[in-house]
Amino acid sequence: MKKYLLTIAAALVMISGCVKDDEFLSTDPKDLLTDEAVWKSPDLVLSVLADLYNRYPEQQTITNWTEFTNFDEAFPSESGQYWRTKQVDYPYDWWNLWDYGYIRDLNLFVQKCSAAKELAEDVRARFVAEARLLRAAIYFEEVKRMGGVPLILEPMEYDFSGDPAYLQHARAKESEIYDFVISEMDSIKTILPDDAGIKSRATKWLALAMQSRAALYAASIAKYGVNTPSVSLPGGEVGIAADKAIPYYQKALDAAQQIISSGKYSLYKKKAEDLEENFAALFYDKANNPEVIFAQDFKLKSGKTQEWTILNQPWSSAEEQQGGRINPSLNLALLYEKLDNTYSPFITNNGSDYMYYNDPKDIFAGRDARLGGTIILPGTKFKGVPLDIWAGVMYWKDGKYNTITGDNFGDLDSIPVAGTPKSSQVVGTDGPIDGLQFSAQTGFFVRKFLDPTVGSGQIGTRSDVWWVRYRYAEVLLNAAEAALELGQPGLSSTYVNQLRERAGFTTPLPEAAISFDRIVHERRVELAFEGHEMFDNKRWRLAHKVWNGETISANDVVSNIGKADKINTMIYGLWGYKIFNPGNANHGKWVYRVVKPSNVTAAHRFNFGNYYSRIGSDILSNNPKLVKNPNN
Amino acid sequence: MKKIFVYTTLILTAFSCRKDNYEAPSATLSGHITYQGVPVNVSSKDVTFELWEPGWGKNGAINVAINEDGSYSALLFNGNYKLIIPPSQGPFRSITDPETKSDTMLLTINGSREMDIEVMPYYMIRDAKMERNGTTAVNSSCRLEKIITDANARNVETVFLYLNQTRFVDATNYIARSSLAGSDITDPANVHLSVNIPDVISGNGTTGDQDYVFARIGVKISGVEDLLFSEVQQINLK
């Protein structure tokens, strides 16, 4: 019996185990999708598109925190990152980008999706328009960093002839890439949905916002490029003729005005009772946010979450043994004006004596609400926990102030004055402690994009706050800048004043107050930690002046506030101290000192060669038609 | 039996290694960047020139950095090289090579070689004198000679006098400096500057027991990124 069973079983295996030879080699794979299968199904095409959205190019973002600490916005409070404030020069290849792999995938998508007749007409048109927008976005990013690049709009195929010369394309002019971005936006804006509720996919309004930004970049390079004649190439791959500035500014203004006049977006004002909280909520409130135009979205428990809050949470309310990495600089903090529209440093001294404050927050009182909305200040709260940011105790002994401090978060020590308790806290739970990572080494933490939800600071939960790429406030600033450059300061002031009113200013700026310096200032304070600073300074040709390698003193930091070309090469901080002087009126009050963290040793220098990044020598030798960027 | 196995393994191990295919580079190319034989002083390691060795698969330049006193050196393989000073480098212009009729210079390396590279600086700092004035200041005087006077001529933007504690004295390495705008120079043959010696001469916070500083004059030429310098001079404070 056994024998028969075995025989039958063997026979069955033989019969069913074999297929015809030709079928054996053409079995459909079970672990990947074929081209034909994908282009039939809108769901599958959407997942291809999702991958393309995911590869959207970026420099400074909440998922790449260290890049925020390269310039003057913030200090990197992590022991492995101090080199960023210790190096003078930026390598010429730092921001280079030559992502033709992504461009090829986008070109393939456009080509194949356009030919996918099995998809419904409107679905297909939207997909193609979205891919074209992403393609324009990568070319925009390329031109920002590299200048004109070869403009490839078809997927190229190699014919294995041994001669790749026909695949080698020369660089387009810088203006041609900008023109391409602008014209693409014109042709896809009517295809994309005009629903302002869509935030993480392309809409008509994103197309207009991108067009406005691109036109503004091109315009300012045309206008301010004359200040750096050596940053140009004879073929126009770098540099834009000055006479093109006006039409570009006009285009930037028109695009911005279409968004403004549509009435689809407005500034976020849901929490008008607390303007600082309102400005912070603008970035974490994802429900019916009227200001956000385009964002990279995240979702809890989906695998797509981010750790900005874990990395930057204050130690006092930290949910892990880490946080506090980005420490906004005093250089940035003192840009925020007083509510009477004047610039003023934080008052640390009163004549030859310190200025004494009853509460640590008092030194920051009466300022632009965006200060507290962007930066976590001493004396405020985060997640309901009061911040504990102070650098030490200043006790009165022998006719002068002496300082005692600790070297770990919230250290205890005994103040060497007769009659004091054996042990008391001598430094804040949040620092600042010079050289101690995760402590507020400038006296500040970042607040923008920080998630106030419980659990957002835990590695196991993370955060789903989105990264805002385009928002209505930037559109207003684009319009304001373009209007000013077109000789309409009155119009410009109406846009700027909308933002200032939201920040708590009650007196609007008059027309006469609108200047280039003012526009630069408004962009810096409104758009801090949103990835604009370097590219703005590049297009205004201010970068080599602002970061010129010259050492700056504490006195330099607190003077000339609001000047567009103020030298900002080194990061400074503002440290608070508690006064210990029993019996004196100032006992228990707070004073502040302007300090430079000891890890800030070098003054940043942005060379002419940094304006347009180096094209790698492998790329140059693969394609002899490419010309090198100037000065590098 | 076991012993044989161990010995065989050892012998095989010993013979399995071979020397690397390439010798390390051994030829030294060195010299100075000069104008009429006089070294052109620049900031330390900021100015570079490129050496290209054609004939290999992919092109890539060997960047050679120039020291503060205008000297340079590079360790190379023997071979034929092309030398080029990129137009954005240094406070000078390269001289058209008589052989190639371009800014490229052909160069054969066969063993070590000393070679000065002649360039056309926009200016030269002549007769630079730096000396201590009392106990608190350093005075300097020099003559600015305009070398390029044709259509490519440039104006002096600023003249600086720098002090530092180390021999590296330039626009990013200094503890004190003073400046004079180019437009305020009445007589280029007679440029005077004075800078105060900081009370604490150490940049690193320790109060100085170093009783000397180094001084240097730097010239920023308008539209040219790299500064031109005089020679570094040690100033004894006691």
Contacting residues of B for A620, CB less than 8 Å apart = 59
Measured between CA atoms, how close is A557 to chain B, in angstroms? 18
DSSP A552-589: --HHHHHSSTT-TT----S--EEEEEEEE-TTSTTTT-
How far is A322 from A440, CA to CA, in rounded Å? Answer: 12
Say which residue the tokens 């995938």 belong to: A105
Using alpha carbons only, give the angle A429, A431, A433 rounded to the nearest 5 degrees. Answer: 140
Sign of CA dihedral A434, A436, A441, A443: negative
Angle between helices A489-502 and A472-485 (to 10 degrees): 150
* Paired residues of A470 in beta bridges: A294
What pLDDT score does B197 carry? 84
Measured between CA atoms, how close is A83 to chain B, in angstroms? 16
In the numeric block, which tokens belong to residue A293?
A: 């135009």
3-state SS of chain A: helix, strand, coil percent to 5?
Answer: 40, 10, 50
- No. of helices (H) and no. of strands (E), chain B: 1, 18
Which of A214-223, A427-436, B87-96, B143-152 has maximum average pLDDT?
A214-223
Say which residue the tokens 């004894």 belong to: B236
In the numeric block, which tokens belong to residue B205?
A: 């916070």
How far is A364 from A377, CA to CA, in rounded Å? Answer: 8
- The two beta strands, B79-84 and B156-164, are unpaired
How far is A629 from B14, CA to CA, in rounded Å? Answer: 51
What pLDDT score does B206 carry? 46
Residue A21 has pLDDT above 70, yes or no: no
Total Cβ atoms within 10 A of residue A43: 7
Residue A227: closest C-alpha in chain B: B223
More confident residue, A369 or B3: A369
| B88:A632 CB<8 A | yes
Residue A23 has pLDDT above 80, yes or no: no
- Residue pair B9/B90 in contact by the 8 Å Cβ criterion: no
Measured between CA atoms, how close is A609 to chain B, in angstroms? 9
In this structure, chain B runs to a length of: 238
A1: pLDDT confidence band, cut at 50, 70 and 90?
low
Measured between CA atoms, how close is B109 to chain A, in angstroms? 23
Measured between CA atoms, how close is B58 to chain A, in angstroms? 6
Using alpha carbons only, give the angle A245, A246, A249 rounded to the nearest 5 degrees. Answer: 85
Which of B60, B88, B223 minimises the CB distance to A617? Answer: B60
DSSP A231-297: S--TTSSS---GGGHHHHHHHHHHHHHHHHHHT------TTTT-HHHHHHHHHH--SS-SSEEEEE-
Give long-range contacts, CB 8 A cutoff, 24+ apart: B69-72. Answer: B69/B32, B69/B39, B69/B41, B69/B231, B69/B232, B70/B32, B70/B33, B70/B34, B70/B39, B70/B40, B70/B41, B70/B42, B71/B30, B71/B31, B71/B32, B71/B33, B71/B39, B72/B30, B72/B31, B72/B32, B72/B33
How buried is residue A78: exposed, middle or buried, by Cβ count under 10 Å (0-12/13-18/19+)? middle
How far is A68 from A328, CA to CA, in rounded Å? Answer: 9
Q: How many CA atoms lie within 13 A of B90 on its CB side?
A: 35
| B88:A605 CB<8 A | no
Q: What is the dihedral of CA A362, A365, A369, A373, to 10 degrees?
A: -10
Using alpha carbons only, give the angle A41, A158, A179 rounded to the nearest 5 degrees. Answer: 70
Which parts of A285-435 fold into alpha helices (H)? 308-312, 330-333, 369-374
User: Taking an 8 Å Cβ-Cβ cutoff, which residues of chain B contact chain A?
Assistant: 58-61, 86, 88, 171-172, 174, 223, 225
Nearest one of A260, A173, A268 to A212, comparing CA atoms: A260
pTM of the model: 0.90
Measured between CA atoms, how close is A550 to chain B, in angstroms? 6
Return the residue in A551, A600, A615, A628 with the most chain B beta carbons within 10 A, the one to mutate for interface testing.
A551
| B172:A620 CB<8 A | no
Residue A603: closest C-alpha in chain B: B172
Helix/strand/coil for B74: strand
How far is B72 from A455, CA to CA, in rounded Å? Answer: 58
What pLDDT score does A8 carry? 78
Q: How far is CA B90 from CA A273, A593, B122, B153, in A?
A: 58, 41, 10, 15
How buried is residue A422: exposed, middle or buried, by Cβ count under 10 Å (0-12/13-18/19+)? exposed
How far is A622 from A396, CA to CA, in rounded Å? Answer: 70
Contacting residues of A for B223, CB less than 8 Å apart = 229-230
Residue A394 has pLDDT above 90, yes or no: yes
Contacting residues of B for A604, CB less than 8 Å apart = none
3-state SS of chain B: helix, strand, coil percent to 5?
Answer: 10, 45, 45
What pLDDT score does A606 carry? 94
How far is A290 from A274, CA to CA, in rounded Å? Answer: 18
How far is A114 from A242, CA to CA, in rounded Å? Answer: 38
What pLDDT score does B204 carry? 43
Q: Taking phi first (over 0 means left), then psi (-120 to 50 degrees means alpha), and beta for anything else, what does residue A449 get?
A: left
Return the residue in B52, B162, B225 with the most chain A beta carbons within 10 A, the one to mutate for interface testing.
B225
| B172:A621 CB<8 A | no
Which of B59, B61, B225 minimises the CB distance to A608? Answer: B225
Total Cβ atoms within 10 A of residue A439: 27
How far is A61 from A468, CA to CA, in rounded Å? Answer: 9
| B172:A609 CB<8 A | no
- HEC letters along A37-104: HHCCCHHHHHHHHHHHHHCCCCCCECCEHHHHHCCCCEEECCHHHHHHHCCCECCCCCCCCCCHHHHH
Nearest one of A302, A317, A325, A289 to A464, comparing CA atoms: A302
| A88:B223 CB<8 A | no
Measured between CA atoms, how close is B78 to chain A, in angstroms? 22
DSSP A425-481: E-S-BTB--TT-TTS-TTS-EE-TT---STTTTSTTT-B---EEEEEHHHHHHHHHH
What is the ipTM, given to two decimal places? 0.79
Residues 6+ apart with CB under 8 A from A433: A391, A405, A406, A407, A408, A409, A427, A439, A441
What pLDDT score does B55 carry? 80
| A630:B88 CB<8 A | yes
What pLDDT score does B16 carry? 67
How far is A234 from A222, CA to CA, in rounded Å? Answer: 15
Residue B176: closest C-alpha in chain A: A551
Contacting residues of A for B88, CB less than 8 Å apart = 230, 608-609, 630-632
Interval A570-598 mean pLDDT: 94
Q: How far is CA A48 from CA A43, A141, B78, in A?
A: 9, 21, 53
Give per-residue pLDDT as tens, A168-189.
999 999 999 999 999 999 999 9
DSSP state of A337: P
What pLDDT score does A16 carry? 66
Contacting residues of A for B86, CB less than 8 Å apart = 631
Return the residue in B58, B172, B221 with the most chain A beta carbons within 10 A, the one to mutate for interface testing.
B172
Helix/strand/coil for A7: helix
Measured between CA atoms, how close is A237 to chain B, in angstroms? 17
Interval A521-549 mean pLDDT: 95
Measured between CA atoms, how close is B224 to chain A, in angstroms? 9
Residue B56: closest C-alpha in chain A: A621
At residue B187, φ and ψ (nearest 5 deg) are -130, 105
Helix/strand/coil for B203: coil
- Residue pair A465/A287 in contact by the 8 Å Cβ criterion: no
Say which residue the tokens 């390079």 belong to: A221
Measured between CA atoms, how close is B15 to chain A, in angstroms? 37
Residue A632: closest C-alpha in chain B: B88
- Residue pair A576/A391 in contact by the 8 Å Cβ criterion: yes
Average pLDDT per 10 consecutive residues for chain B, totaling 238 residues: 78 69 84 93 90 83 91 92 89 88 89 91 92 85 92 91 89 88 90 84 52 90 90 86
- Residue pair A99/A57 in contact by the 8 Å Cβ criterion: yes
| A631:B225 CB<8 A | yes
More confident residue, A23 or B180: B180
- Residue pair B143/B190 in contact by the 8 Å Cβ criterion: yes
Total Cβ atoms within 10 A of residue A66: 16
What pLDDT score does A36 carry? 84
| A609:B88 CB<8 A | yes
Which of A602, A607, A620 minimises the CB distance to B225? Answer: A607
Return the residue in A227, A230, A434, A598 with the most chain B beta carbons within 10 A, the one to mutate for interface testing.
A230
Contacting residues of B for A632, CB less than 8 Å apart = 88
| B172:A603 CB<8 A | yes
How far is A205 from A192, CA to CA, in rounded Å? Answer: 9
- Residue pair B24/B67 in contact by the 8 Å Cβ criterion: no
- Residue pair A287/A466 in contact by the 8 Å Cβ criterion: no
The letter for the amino acid at A218 is A
A73: pLDDT confidence band, cut at 50, 70 and 90?
very high
Average pLDDT of the residues of chain A: 93
Interval A446-472 mean pLDDT: 94
Residue A305 has pLDDT above 90, yes or no: yes
Measured between CA atoms, how close is A349 to chain B, in angstroms? 23
Give per-residue pLDDT as tens, A249-275.
999 999 999 999 999 999 999 999 999
More confident residue, A520 or B56: A520
Contacting residues of A for B172, CB less than 8 Å apart = 88, 549-551, 602-603, 605
Q: Taking phi first (over 0 means left), then psi (-120 to 50 degrees means alpha), and beta for anything else, what does residue A391 get?
A: alpha
| A230:B223 CB<8 A | yes
Residue A232: closest C-alpha in chain B: B88
Helix/strand/coil for A536: helix
Residue A91: closest C-alpha in chain B: B46
